Structure 1
Amino acid sequence: MREEFRAELYEVGRQLVSMAEAVRTAMSTATTALLSADKEGAERVIARDAQINEIFHSVEDKVLRILAQQAPVASDLRMVITALHIGTDLERMGDLAEHVAKSAVRRYPAVAVPAELAGTIGQMANVADRIAGKVTLVLASRDIDRAAELEHDDDAMDELERSLYARILSPNWSYGVEAAVDTALLARFYERYADHAVNAGQHIIYLVTGETPGSPEPTEQ
């Protein structure tokens, strides 16, 4: 029974790594499509989101089966529940990449991002890719030091989001309301993508240490 339990946990972990790789590719491809008005590339991202969802549903099913059949306790229970939380964050990251792709399709054949903002969007995409890459690595290695770095990466994403909003709200904005709304939404999609990645990293830290990041050290009695 114990060997079966470990095998099921290993498969859950493997699927989470697969999800992390998929959502990283999805956002990278969606950004390329967004900045180049590549409708076919954007549509591939939209279609493949169903595959990410299927992996997540498989993770859910395995977690529920483990809970029902194996009755895990203590650290094993923490591992199972944490896996479900991580899967949820990764699934939402996939949805956000899909939203970016849909923005590209909606404005096709035009490029959805004003030319002067393409550089900032590209920087946000680079941060998103770096964060997603770290999540994949951390899931595979349980490197909590690398997981803790995600907070710093998220700060960079927040700063880029603020810079975009400042340009949208500037009196020199000349692209109209539609472009302003598109840009604000895109900024939000990338920012939320990073937030979910940070959440996944915090869940991994909790899995390894048993402590929520930022929680006080237990006092000696």
Structure 2
Amino acid sequence: MRTAFRAELDRLTADLGDMCAVARTTMQCASASLVHLDDRSSRRVAPHLQRLDQLHAEVDRSVMSLLALQAPVAHDLRIVVSAIPMAAAAARMGGLANNVDKLARRHRPLPAVPAEGLVHIDAMASVALSQADEVQAAVSTSDAQAALGIAADEDGPMDRLHRELFALVTDPRWAHGPTVAADLVLLGRFYGRFADHLSDIAGRVVFSVTGEHAHSVEAVSATS
């Protein structure tokens, strides 16, 4: 009985890691659609979203089964309960990637934003994808230390890029008008929220492993 329970917990963790990976791939495709006008990548967004929905449903079923039939406690209960918001965050990441692709396709065959804006967006995409790789690894291996580093980075590269993007569109020398500026700010928000969800997932990993919230662990580390 215990072996089956452990196997189901492992499947739950694997599905959460897969959700992070699929959300990351979805954003990679959406970013290629946006930055490189890659229609092939754009067409891959919808199938990835479908896979994300399937994994989300599997996580929900596993959580309900484990709670109803196994009555987990302590560390195991934290894993199960944390899976619900983690899966929801990964699903929202897929939705944000879809928003990026929709905006990109709306402007076809032209670029959605001018070249100087795409430089910032490409940098934000690179940061988002790199962070997604780190979070997926932390989720799959239950690495609380790695997850803490992600969750505690409140003023990381994504935040700095977001400030630079805002400075770009509010500069008096901006020559592309308010509509293009609004689209650029919206894209920046999509990538920023994507990173926020990654940070949230990382914080849930910390909690599921240690029983402490990430900010509490950080505070203890800072004073020790």
**TM-score band w.r.t. shorter chain:** over 0.9
Distance in 2 (alpha carbons) for counterparts of 1:85 and 1:3: 26
Aligned to 1:64: 64
Distance in 1 (alpha carbons) for counterparts of 2:173 and 2:144: 44
How far has the Cα of 1:153 moved from its partner?
Answer: 7.8
**Matched ranges for 1:63-82 at <5 A:** 63-82=63-82
Is contact 1:19-1:52 (8 Å) kept? yes
Q: Which moved more, 1:34-43 or 1:126-135?
A: 34-43
1:207 is aligned to 2:208: yes
Is contact 1:131-1:153 (8 Å) kept? no
SS of corresponding position for 2:87: helix
Which consecutive unaligned segments of at least 5 residues does structure 1 have? none
How far has the Cα of 1:85 moved from its partner?
Answer: 1.8
Aligned to 1:86: 86
Aligned to 1:133: 133
The structure-2 alpha-carbon separation of the partners of 1:183 and 1:46, relative to structure 1 and needing over 3 Å to count, comes to farther
Distance in 2 (alpha carbons) for counterparts of 1:17 and 1:59: 11
Aligned to 2:34: 34
Distance in 1 (alpha carbons) for counterparts of 2:155 and 2:201: 12
The structure-2 alpha-carbon separation of the partners of 1:134 and 1:72, relative to structure 1 and needing over 3 Å to count, comes to same
**Matched ranges for 1:118-197 at <5 A:** 118-150=118-150, 151-152=152-153, 155-197=156-198
Distance in 2 (alpha carbons) for counterparts of 1:19 and 1:137: 12
Distance in 2 (alpha carbons) for counterparts of 1:171 and 1:122: 23
Aligned to 1:112: 112
Which consecutive unaligned segments of at least 5 residues does structure 2 have? none
Structure 2-normalised TM-score? Answer: 0.91
Distance in 2 (alpha carbons) for counterparts of 1:113 and 1:39: 16
SS of corresponding position for 1:214: helix
SS of corresponding position for 2:214: coil
Count of aligned residue pairs for this structure pair:
217
Is contact 1:154-1:194 (8 Å) kept? no
How far has the Cα of 1:108 moved from its partner?
Answer: 0.8
The structure-2 alpha-carbon separation of the partners of 1:154 and 1:67, relative to structure 1 and needing over 3 Å to count, comes to farther
Distance in 2 (alpha carbons) for counterparts of 1:153 and 1:25: 24
Distance in 2 (alpha carbons) for counterparts of 1:12 and 1:179: 42
How far has the Cα of 1:152 moved from its partner?
Answer: 2.8
Is contact 1:43-1:105 (8 Å) kept? no
SS of corresponding position for 2:111: coil
Distance in 1 (alpha carbons) for counterparts of 2:166 and 2:155: 17
